[in-house]
Each structure stands twice: as structure tokens, then as C-alpha cells.
Structure 1
Amino acid sequence: MKLHRLVLANYRGIAHREIEFPDHGVVVVCGANEIGKSSMIEALDLLLEFKDRSTKKEVRRVKPTNADVGSEITAEISSGPYRFVYRKRFHKKCETALTLLAPRREQLTGDEAHERVRAMLAETLDTELWHAQRVLQAASTAAVDLSGCDALSRALDIAAADSGADAALSGTEPVLIERIEAEYARYFTPTGRPTGEWSAAISRLAGAEAAAAECAAAVAEVDDRAGRHAALTHRVAELARQRQASGPRLEAARAAAEQLAALTDEAREANLIATAAAATAAASAGVHAARLGLLTEIDTRTATVAGLEAEAAEAADELTTASAAAEACDSALENATRTLTTGQLRVESARRALDHLLDREEADRLRGRLAKVDEIRHERDRVCASLSAVTVDTEVMGRIDDAAAAVDRIAAQLASISTAVEFTSVADIELSAGERRVSLAAGQSWSVTATGPTEVDVPGVLTVRVTPGATALDVQAKYAAAQETLAQALVAGDVADLGAARAEDLRRRELESSRDKLTATLSGLCGDDQVDQLRERLAQLLAGQPGEPDVLTTDGCFDSKAARAELEAAEAARATAAAEHESRRLIAGAAADRCTEASTGLTVLRNNAATQRGELDVATARLARERALVRDEELACAADADMRAQQAAERRLAELNEALAATAPDAVTVELAEAAEATESLEERHRDASRALREISIELAVFGSEGRKGKLDVAETEREHAVDEHARVGRRARAAQLLRSVMTRHRDTTRLRYVAPYRAELQRLGRPVFGPTFEVEVGSDLRINSRTLNETTVPYESLSGGAKEQLGILARLAGAALVAQEDTVPVVVDDALGFTDPDRLAKMGQVLDTVGGQGQVIVLTCSPDRYQGVKGARRIDLHAVH
């Protein structure tokens, strides 16, 4: 197959693209990433494999997202004797058109065109080879599998026969294998599962056996029902006999249960009497015990009241003593408080006097500091005014210095290259040089340096013109420019010459130094404070001064030292008074606490005594009321009689419980329950057996009318026929399976034979790239297993990505070189060799050149420089075809 032309329209992001491919050689299609290089191969697959109305995801995802139009693909292809132009439009207004150019012109549309192209490709194209001959970005390092390519197999068969292989080939082996595969497909699926006739025979036999088994089960069911009928008849008779024998046991159990119930009722009544007697005895004993407790309570409360009254008298005496002591302590505390108040007032007065004196001293210091600040400020303002009148600043002085240096440097250069002309007179003479007049006496000399065109005139005799060379003229021009620059800088500084500029600059630096010193001094005087804040602080201090002094020395002047001494003495006196006051306060508090405690204790004792006296009166009145109703002796006698009645009732209850235990009530109950359960079980089993016997009799009557034995005979006959057919078809299926396995083994042996030609071709193409020691080991599936270089063998999976990529391309090129001319397909390389170094890139380019002469090699890349080594390649730039 050859691809002559490919046209895409509205395909993904491609509005329109048309590319023509030469029949032979390497074509390098280059373009930026995402420009649609890989999309061309994808589009060719969609064109050949899918109908125009297909809704599969492969077709849906190529529809452009920016326009509601259909994607169109057109290709001109040659395959075998056929050459045709094939076009499809997907998504909207779907259309398929085929123009057959050779062997005879023909036009088809729709599904008919699609099927015709499929038929032509099936006849002339090895699809496996077409897909195998692609090196895609996603699998460029994967080992290529060429084992399923029939075109390559045929070429290798021929190559193996030409190389003198032992087995001669007739050329009909592929046809025979196809017929064997077709025969095998009648009986088995590709995975080896039964299908077709063999599956039908297996299914028929399984169905016949299932039907025979079902009929046999039905006949066995009739036999089972007959046997169960006889067994149930015997069981019903046996259960009737057992039910009759269980009656006397149930009657005896019921009589024993009635006797047990009577004795139980009697014991329950005795238990009630014993309980009532116990309650009566407990009540009598409680009443007697309450009377005794009341007597004890009266005695206890009488003693308690007497003790509380004695304690209250003692507490009253203690309260009188504590009150007197508390009054004395309170008086002493008042005196200490007055002393402390006097000391506090003295301290405040002394501190106020000291604060006034300190403020006055600070105000004096601030006056002097502010006066100094004002003086320095005035001086700095004067210096700044003088500095502002100076016109030569740092920048201007720099310009003047630079210009003067340039003038001096160029003047020296000009002097070194200028011509000096000297005149010596032999008689008195007068010369003129420009506007200058020079008189020379006999024997006197005069010279002039010609830095520019210069004329010296001897009036009435001669005129001498001295013209410097071009270099001197250039330097002269630079000298004039430098002088102009210097003049401009002097004008900017408002000075006459360089000396005046330097004097002015020195004056400026001196003034700046004075200004900086004054500024530093001013900053030191002010510190972190602002001058306005200092003036405000001085005003506050002056406003806070009193009219008269608070502290005076002996000579009548203010004295902060005396004021500080007075403050210290006042604070010491206040501290002594405060300590005395605190001591008196603690003593007075303790005395008050003792007085309060004594008063509280007395109140509590009096309240307790009153409470106990009231409770004693209540208990005495209660005893009098109770004795008026029942005397103490009567309560004792009633309690004793009730106790004796309780003991008699408990003895009667114990006797009845012993009699009840002797009858074994649990055993009687269990026997009654077991007898009743056994009788009920026999009744239920007899009913169930009778019902089952009736149902089986009905089923046997129904079975007799179904003819199950006849159905079993028919099913067994069908099974025998199915067995015969299964054996007959099975022999054919196993024969086809055996023949296929033998031919497959033979084909594998043949593949091992033609691995050698493929390996030889691969090594021939690879040695220019890897070197003369390059060898490969190829398996029967034509996959590369290992590579050997310099007698070092490395498995394919252990090779680097670049080596794998190179071997993958060489394997496809070897296949393309081996297949017959009519079976050749394009080799597509999609942006490969990205892992390859420059040296091997050049060598791979030579191999591509070699194979490109036999067929088509299409290279898609975003880096065309990789393939510069392909000398005969035709380059197509996708930017030019958009």
C-alpha cells in the first residue's frame, strides 16, 4: 500500500490541510506541538475503518469544537492493482465517496463504497503489517511484534527456502492453514471452547441425559410413594394402639396433682396466719419499746438542760470581762489613728515643698538649655544663608574638573603632534601672525606652534602658510570642544576661571562642615526632645510655682536639701505612727473578736437550753397521755402474749411445709406434664400420619394416569441417539483440533527457520548504527530478545530508552526491506529518536535513506533537525499548508 495524498478539513483544530507524498523515499513532516501531525495517521485509520455515520468515541472526539461542521478526510491510496480516491464526511451531512482510478475507472458512494474499500484492502493489504510498521510516541520503546504479519511471513518463507532450508515449501501453506482454521472454527472458538456442531451435540446430549434423568426420577417418585403408603398404613395402626395405652397414666398423674393442690392450699393458709401473728407481735414489741425509749429520753433531756444552764452562767461572766477589755483597746486605737493622720499631713506638706523646689531647678536648667539652642540655631541659619549664595556645588565642580582635565590632556596631545616653526632674522625685520605683530632684531629668533592653519607674513617680502595634518586638525577640533565644555561649566558655576571655581568650592566645603557641626551640636542639646516640647515644659513648670516658698534655709533662701531632709523625717514619723496604729488595730480586733465570740457562745447556750427544756416538756406531756391510756405493765404483758402466738403459728406452718415436701410436688408436676404431652403428641402424630396416608393415596391415583414409564422409555431412546451423534461429531472435532495443533507446531518450526533471514537483515541495517560487533537475538515471534555489542549481551528490557527506540525503528525497516514489493506498506515514525545522541542520529539518517529507496517512510516530528542526516528526505512544513 502507498499513500499518495491526504486531505483534512475541519478535523480537530485543522481547518484545511492537503499533503502529497512521493511514491518512494523519506518524507519529513514537521511542525510545532499540537499542530496535528499524529492526527493525520489517526484520520487515515478513521477513513478506512469507520462508517461515516459512526457515533463511536474515536469519531466523536475529532469534531471541531469551534464550529458546527462535519470533519472531512480524503486520501488517494494504491494497494495491489488498485488505485483509488476515498473521501468521507463525519458528524454533519455524512457522506462517503469512492473513485476507483485503476485497474478500471469506477465510482461508488455510501455503504457500498465503504464495503468495496474494505474488500480491496482485505484482498491486497496485510493489516497487521500496516499497524506494526508505525513507531508511535506512546510506544516508541516497546518491542515490535511482527509475528502476525502474513506478508512478512511469506517473504521470510521465500528467504528461508532460498537460503537452503531442509523443508521445501509449496507456496500453498497459508491456504491450507486457513482451511484448517475454518474447519477448526466449525467446532471450537478461538479460545478453545466448543461451538457450532460440536456445541450443539454437547448440548443435545446434556439435554437428553437431563430428560432421561428427570423421567427416571419421576418413576422412582412413584415407587417411593408406594413404599411410603405401606409404611404409613402400619404407622397409623401402631399410633392408635399407643394412644389407647397412654390413658391410665394420665389419670393417675391427675389424681396425684389434685392431692398436691389441696395440701398446698392448707399450707398457704397457715402461712397467712403465721404472717399475721408475726405482724401483731412486732407491733406489740414496737409499742413497748417506744414506751421504754420515751422514759429514757426524758431522763437524758433533764440532765442536758441542767448542764446547759450551768454553762450559760459561766459564759455570761466571760462576756462581761471581754467587753471591758474591748473598750480599752478601742480608745487606744483612736489615739493611734489621730497620730497617724498628723504624720500623713506632715509627709504630704514636705513632699509638696520638695516638688516645687525641684520644678524650679528644672526650669532654670531649661532656660539655659533653650538659650543655647536659640544661639546655635541663629548661627546655623547664618551659615546656611552663606552656603545658599555659593553657586559651585559638587556636581558643577565635578563638571569643571572633568572639563579642565580634558582640556589639559588634549592640549598635551596637541602639543606633541603640532609643528613648531622657528624664525631667525639676519636683519631687522617685522613679522605679523594673524593680529599679532612681532619685531625681530638681527640674529634674534621667534617660534610659533601651528596647532591649526597659521599664516606668518613678512610685509612686502613673503607670506608663510603652515597647515597641520589631518590628525592635528582633529585633535585641534577636540581641543576647541573641550575648551567650550569648560567655558560652559564655568558659566554654570558663575566663576571666571578654574582657580576661582576651586576657591569657591573650598569655601562651600568649609561652610558645609560648619553647618554639619552646628546641626550635630543642636541635636545633642535637644536629644530626643523637640524644642517646642521643651518650651511647653518650661511654661508648665513656671505656672506650677507657688507665690511663697515652702521650705527656707537659715539665711532665708530656698533649699531642696533641707526640704528632702524634712520629707525623710516626716516619712519616718509616719511609718512609726503607722506601725503603732496597726498594732493597736490588731489588738482591738482581737478583743472585739473575743467579745463577739463570748456573746455568740452565751446566745447559743441559752437557745440550746430553751430548746432542750421545750423538748423535755413535750416528752413529759406525751408520757402522761400514753400512761393515761395504757399502763407500762399492760404493754409488757401484751407484747409477751403476741410473741407466744407467733411462735405457735410458725410451728404449724413448718409442719405443713414438711408434709408438702414429702409429696415431691416437682415430680408430680413433671409427671402430669409429661403424661399430658405424651398423650397430645400421640394424638398429633396419629392425625399427621392419617393425613399423609390420605395425601399419598391421592398422589398414587394421579400418578397412575400420567404414564411415566412410557415417558422414561422415550427419553432413554433420545439419549442413545444423542450419544451416537456426540461421538460422531466429537471424532471430527478432535481430528480438526489435532490437525490444527500439528500445523501450528509445524508453523512455529517454520518460523524458527525464517528467523535467520529476518535476523540477518536486522543486523545488516543495525551495524552502520551500532558498529561491526552488533548482533541481536530474535525469538520465534520475531521480537528482539537481546542485543550484543563487543561480546557483551544485554536483554532488550534492560537497554536504555534511546537504544530501544533505535532497535524498534530498525526492526520495522528490516520488515519493510524484506516484504515483497506488492505487499509493502508505509513505515510511519511519529516524533521518535528523541532519546538518541547526535552521532547515532546521523547514522540512523543513513539507514532511513537506504530503506527509503525501496518504499515510503513518513516521519512526523516537531524537531526536523534530528533528521538532517537523511540526505534524500523531502521536507514538508505544516505551517505552509494550514
Structure 2
Amino acid sequence: MRLHSITLKDYRGITERHVDFDDHGITVIAGPNQSGKSSVIEAINLVLTEKATSTKNAVTAIRRSGVDRPAIVEFDATIGGERFTLRKEFGRGRQAGTTLTFATGNKAVLRGDPAHNYVQDLLRDHEDMALFAALSFLQGKDLSSFELTDGQSALQAALDAAANGNDDTLSGDHLLDAAQAEFDQYFTTTGRLTKERTNELKREKTLSEEASELAEHVAETERTAQQLDDLEQQREHLANQRAETEARLQDLTAQAAAHAEHQRQKAALEAQLRTTEAQLAAATSRVQADDDLAQQHAAISERITRIEQQQAELTQVDDAELHQLIEQRDQLAAAAAHYTQTAEIMDFLRRERLHHEEEAQAERLAQAAKQASDHLHSIPHDVEVYRHAEQLRADIEGLQHVLAVSSGTITVTPLPGGDVLCNGSPLTSAHTEIISRSLSIEVPGHVTITLHPAAEAAERDAQLSRLTADYQEALDSLHVADWSQACRQADEWQEANRAHQDAAAECRAFATLHPESRRLEEAHQLTQECAGFPSDLLDQGRAGTLNVLPKADVDELQSAFTEAQQRAEVALRNYEVSASKRDLLAQELAAAQQEYAQLDPLDQAARTAHQEKLASLTTAVATQRAELAQCENCTAAFADTTEEAADNTSTLATLRSFYDDVDSKYHRLQGVLDTHMSAGYHAALVEKRAQHRDLHEHIQRTTAAADAARLLRDTLLAARQRAAARYQTPYVKTLTRLGQRVWGDHFSVTVADNLTIVSAVTRPNGIPIAYSDLSTGTREQLAVLSRLACYQLVDQGHVPVILDDILGYSDPTRREDMAAAIETATSLATSDPAMAGQLIIFTCDSSRFASVPGKHHIWEQPLD
């Protein structure tokens, strides 16, 4: 199928659009978004598949809103070697119509459904539309690579031919069908077991479970008998333990009573000892308090004496000397500040004067530029009008010359060397055309030819009148009387224009060096600084009467001020330190005297009584501790068995409970054993195991047959898959060759049986990366190249490839490489370009395919 052209009228937002496609090569259609590119692709599919009378939403949506006219698609193509023009008018009722016209003219024009059906028959008989749809890459489609599916007969035939003919492994389909039939007896289409085999397995499982249940009953009977023996032994053992525990409990109860009596005596002695020890601690605290009070009296007395000595040793600082130093420092500071400020004022006035000079210069340059501009605009001159008048003047002179030689008497004079004069001017081909006959000079001398005015002379005369009028109008608009005045005026205007440009350039240069923003900022800063200076000093500076010391004198004055300030600071610090010390000592002395006054007075008689009571209590504590130790020795002879007696009581209760439980279990299991012995579980177990063995052997035989059928079918399927894998070789070679034009010789690719891309290597020394993990730009490039690889394998006259809005995700460095790959795939680089396929690219960016040869359409305007 070859697409030649398509025309759209009143189609969606398009009023009218016509597109020609290159029959053998690449057609690039570039236009901004919303310019109708996608509508062209949609129209190709609709005109080939849908009737003009269709009421589908896809058809009704293409009609222009607010326009009561049908949407028209006129399609020129060649299918099956037959070229035709198919015109469909998609409208309502009688507006709809279909017309099929053949290029050769030897067939009648078809209309309506016969025209539509004729094209459908051509497509069905000659075109592989599944391949056409698969090779197209449309806007909004996912970035998946090409996939081989049923119905792509052209590609499958090409791949089979590239694989060197048919594979014999595909000729045994009848054997695969037989293996599949045998497989279906045992498995479903999803590979699961059939219902009959599933029921057999369930029956086997049921028999196994029933046999296991009977075996459990038999085992339970045996376990019950064994449990009865164990319970009998436990009953005897628990009865013996209970008797021993009762005797032990009586002995422990007597020992616990004796131990309790000795513990009561020990507690009374411990209470008496704690009381005496508390009295001893109180007496010790009183004696320690007496000693602490004596030490505090001595310490405070010593501290008062030390503070009084420090007060006596502290020297006085001369206040008069300090005030003199401070006064001298302030005088020097005022003088230094005054002369420093006068220096700053003089610097400020200097910068203010420079600023005023810059403002004056800017004003002068701006005034000069304005005067030059005013002078330029005062000259009545228009360059276009001047050039038009000059051209009219030349046309008038030429036409006058033509009129002079085209009528009346013409004198032709031959010259030596073969040249000819006509009315004194060199004879040219223009003259011969005007005379409207050829001149032949055969003898030397003068030849006089008399001609009547030609028919066109009147027209030239009228044209001369029109040119003369236009010329005079141009001179009037220039405000001149003749051409010489116009030339002088043009020279004067050019001179004024140069002066204006020079003045404007000088003004711009000054504005670049001294921009207005900086001058405004500097004026604002000067205003702020001016507010900080005394007005009387500013007036003196502007008048030139301000006393300004040299910098060396100001520095010397500043240095003297710094030295005086340091001396004053040292004296002030010494004075403040001395005063601070005096205040601190006074505060410490007052605090010490107050603390001494708050202390309790010393009582020596009370201290002696406290010490005697402490000695008496120390002796009493020692005596009571000896008595307590003797009592503890007596108590140790009788161990405390209260807890052990309680444990034995608990143990006895537990043993009695265990004995009752074991006796109850013994009688219950005796009844269970009697029931099991009368049920006949052993005979039932033997019968059930025989049934399970027979069914298990049958299932094993069936499973072996099913496994054989699965193995045969899988083997034949693997053979078919190996044959299909042969298609991969030519496809991978072609795709690799195209990919190496983009990523280099290191590029490689892995594909599945259906030719979809599994992984790719796009970097030197890189590892294969899964297709889904590649970047969006790389997947887009591979998706395009995979379709071009299939397209290159097929006879390129079968179907065209339509690529819509590709390389949108690709970086600019890849686009030239992709353009080269596209050119290779379409065989434009071969020796016979006429055999190249048809590739149609729609894009919103023409620069992506600028290097691709072929026919380029660039749409600048969006939809109408």
C-alpha cells in the first residue's frame, strides 16, 4: 500500500488541509500542537475502515462544531497495484456520500456502499492491516516494543525467508494434535487434573483417612490398656507418699512451737537495746553540738580581726587627679572629633561637586542628542520615498529611450568588428524585440529603415505618463522641485542622521559609565550624609573658611586623645577597685558581727553534764548487746520449722488430690477399654487397607500414562518453540544494526519468542538492563527502532510506517543518531531509492528531523 495524498475539509478544527506524501521515502510533517497532525492520522484510518453514513461516536466527533456541512476526506492511494482516489463525506442523512475514482480511467466511478466495499476487498486481499497497525507508533501509545502476533503474515513470511526456508519441525502438527488429545484425557486446558482423576485421588484419600481412623482406634485401645497399668502403679506410689508426709508433719509442728518461744524472748531484748541506742545517739548529738558552737565562736572572732586589719591596710586614691585626667581626655576627644568631622565635610563637598559635574555633563549630552534629533526630523526626507523616486526616474529614462528607438526613423550603422549602432546607441536584443523584426546588415555603409509606430507604442506612452505622474508625486512628498534638490536634501539628511547617531552614541556611552540609577543613589546618599553634618560647618566649607588641620596633626591629636583616655581609664579602674574593696570589707565585717551576735552563749557546766551522760549510756548499750548475743545462741539450737510444716501440709493436700484424680481416671479408662474390645476395630482395619491398596495401584498406573502424555506434548511444543526462535535471528540482527547507529558497536539486545524486547545493553562494558528499567527516552528510541527493524525485513511496498510525535523524550545528542537509523531503515542510502519504503513522520518539532532527507511539510499556523 502506498499513500500519495490526503485532503481534509471541515474536519474537526480544520477548514481545509492538503498533504502530499513521498511515494518512495520519508515524509516529515511538522507543526505546532493543535495544528491538525493527529487529525490526518485519524482521517487515514477512518476513510479506510468506516462508512460515510456511520453513526459511531468516532465518526460524528470529527464534524466541525457550528458548521452544517459534512467532514470531507479525499484519499489518494495505491493498493494491490491499483491507484484510486477515495472521497468520503461524513455527514448526516443525504449529506453523507462515498466516491471511488480510478486513476487509469478504464473503470467506472463507484459510489456509496459499492465504493466502500471495493476498498475493503482490496485491503483484505492485498494488505496486511495487522502489520500496518503494529508498525505504527501513535501519540499517546505506550512505549512497548514491537510484538509478533497472529495475522502478520507478511512479516512472518519475511522472517521465514530470512531464516532460509521452512523448518521441518513444524510439519508434525498431526502428532502434536494426537499428543494434545492424549494429554486432554488426563489434564484440563489449564494443566490441572481432570474431574475423573481428581475424584479417584479424593477416593484414595478418603480410604486412607478411614484406614488411618481405624488404626487410630486400635492404637487407642492399646494405649488405654497401657494407661490402666500405669495408673495402677501411680495409685500405689501416691498412697505410700501420703502416709510418709503425715508422719513428717507431726514432728515439724512440735519443733515450730519451741522455736516461736525463743523468738519472743529475743524480740524483747532487741527492743530494749534499740531504746538505749537511741538515747546514746541523742547524747552524742548534744556533745557534738556543744563542740560545734565553741568552734563557731572562735572562727567568727578570728574573721572579725582579719577584716579590721584589711581595712586599716587599704590606701586612699586622690579624687582631684582622677577628675583632671578625665577633663583632659574629654577636651582632646572634642578636638579630635571636630577636626575629623571637618575632614569628612571637605571630602563630602568634593564628592558633591563631582556629582554636580556629572549631572551637568549628562544634561549637556542629552540636550545635544535632542538638538540633533530635532534637526534630523526638521529635514523633510523619507528613505523609502527617495528610493522609489530614484527607481521611477530610472524607469522613465529607460522608457523614453525605448520610445525613441521603437518608432519613427531608425538609423542602423555597422561598425568594424561586427558591432551595430542604432540611432547612435549600441544595438541590443531589447531593441530588436521592440522593433519586432530581425535586422540583417549585409553591406557596409548607412542603412535607413522607416517604421510606422508599433501597436504597443501607445501603451508605452501611457505608461510613461503614469510613471511621470508618480515621479512628480514622489518629488512633492519630498518637498523638492527637481531631482538635484532631492539629492542635496538626501545628503543633508544623511549628515544630520550621522550627527544624531554620534550624539546618541555619546549619550549612551556616558549613561553606561554613569547610569542614572547610580547617580540617583549617590544623590540620595549625599543627602543623607549632609543631614549628619552641622549646617554652619557646611556653610564654612562651601565658603572656603573652614579651618582644616593637616592629616598628620589630626593623627597626632588622635594619638594624644588615645593616650589620655588610657591614663584616665587606668586611674578610674584603680579608684573603682579601691572603693569596691572598701565596700566589700565593710559588708563582710557587718555580716560577721551580726552572725557572732546571733550565736548561742557558751555554757561549760552543761557541756560537762552532757559528756557524763554519754559515758553512762555507752556502758549500758554494751551490757544489753551481750545479753542479746547470749539469747541468739540459745535460739539457734531450735530451728524454725514453720515454713517446712506449711509446705508439708500443702504437699499432703496435693498428694490426696492426685490420688483421687488417678483413681477416677483408672475407673473411667476401664470402661473405655471394655467398649473398644467389643467394637471389632481390628477386623475393619484389615478390610479397609486392602481396598486402599487396590485403588492406589490403579492411580499409579494412570499417573504414569498421564506423565507420558505430558512429556510427549511438552517435547513437541518445545520443538515448535525452537522453530519459532529461528525468527529471532534475522530480527535481532536487523535491530542490532539499527541500534548500533544510535548507541555504538557495543549495543546488543535480547528478545522473546514474540519478538518483544526483554533487555538491552546501551553502554560500553554495560550489563543487560530490563526493558522496563530503561529510561523513558531509551525505551522510546527502542520502540521506534523495533518497528523499523520489522519494516526493513518486510517487502517495503506492503505497508507504510506512521510515526507520530516520536523522540519527545530523547535528548538532542540522540536525535541525529536516530535520524541516521531512520534513513538506513527506509533504504534511502541504497543504490535504488525507488525501492525504498514509505515512512511518514508527524512531529511538533521540525529540528528533530532536519537532517533526514525527504519531503518536509512545515505548518506554522494552528487549527483554523
Instruction: Look at both structures and tell me which one has the larger radius of gyration over its CA atoms.
Output: 1
TM-score, normalised via structure 1 length: 0.49
TM-score, normalised via structure 2 length: 0.50
